[in-house]
Amino acid sequence: MLCMAVILLTGNAFAQKRHLYLFLCFGQSNMEGNARFEPQDTTVDSRMRVLQAVDCPDLGRQKGSWYTAVPPLCRCKTGLTPADYFGRTLIARLPKKIKIGIINVSVAGSRIEIFDKDNFQAYLSGAPGWMKNIAAEYNGNPYATLVELAKKAQKVGVIKGILLHQGESNPNDSLWTKKVKGIYDNLMKDLNLKPKSVPLLAGELVNADQGGACANMNKIIATLPAVIPNAYVISSSGCSCAGDHLHFMAEGYRKLGKRYGTKMLALLGYGDMAVE
């Protein structure tokens, strides 16, 4: 009877783990979330969870604990992010037994080099003080924090994908795709993941149709699938932006997030669904 109980408990734990889909999110300010979230953004299905990346006493949240994914999903005072409506889009379509877990480690204004596990210190040494302060919230090492949280989450769930939004601080960087591949490869190794099972979704920067200040970078982002076979580019066409033409407005984040979600649903085998 004792053996049977152990088997049942083990089987139940395994089933629960399979029913929590984990998604790693990283990048700079647009993945942090720059636009203020609105009342409509604060009603969230409890099946959508966030693993807190930093301590936020004012929000009653502690690093490394799970919460219903009410924004902010990154740091304590960040705004709406593509991850918000990415998660909502999945929850609306996936079976009721499936939960979504978001892990978001992003640093405003940073080059992609801040996530290079071997060279981030050289980059941060020359970074402005405010960026060092953000990195300090991740113990001075955003990549290591992402891996630390991901490993903790893997005890209760399965990593199904990675979301990236970055590039404004790497304008016209012809080596950007190579740098992203290095980070992706490190994540695969450090988290014992198989590239064929973990797609990377990379969002375009504010589009040329919105007068995007860094829209030319989208030409480089478009080549990412040639370097990472399981990478997919998410269009930002028609996603409204703020006056700086660098950051999306709340509606732009919602639309972009839904597009991330639509693509992930297709990759998970749930077919196409309309994108607003």
Asked if 65 is an active-site residue, the reply is no
Q: State the SS3 of 114-136.
A: HHCCCCHHHHHHCCCHHHHHHHH
> Choosing from 19, 29, 197, 245, which is the catalytic residue?
29
Coil vs helix vs strand at 271: coil
* Beta strand residue intervals within the chain, DSSP E: 20-27, 48-51, 66-68, 99-106, 158-165, 200-203, 231-234
> Choosing from 106, 165, 240, 247, which is the catalytic residue?
247
Helix axes 82-93, 250-267, angle to 10 degrees: 40
> Choosing from 58, 118, 244, 272, which is the catalytic residue?
244
Asked if 235 is an active-site residue, the reply is no
Alpha helices per DSSP H over 126-172: 129-137, 142-154
Asked if 173 is an active-site residue, the reply is no
Query: Which residues have a catalytic role annotated?
Result: 29, 244, 247
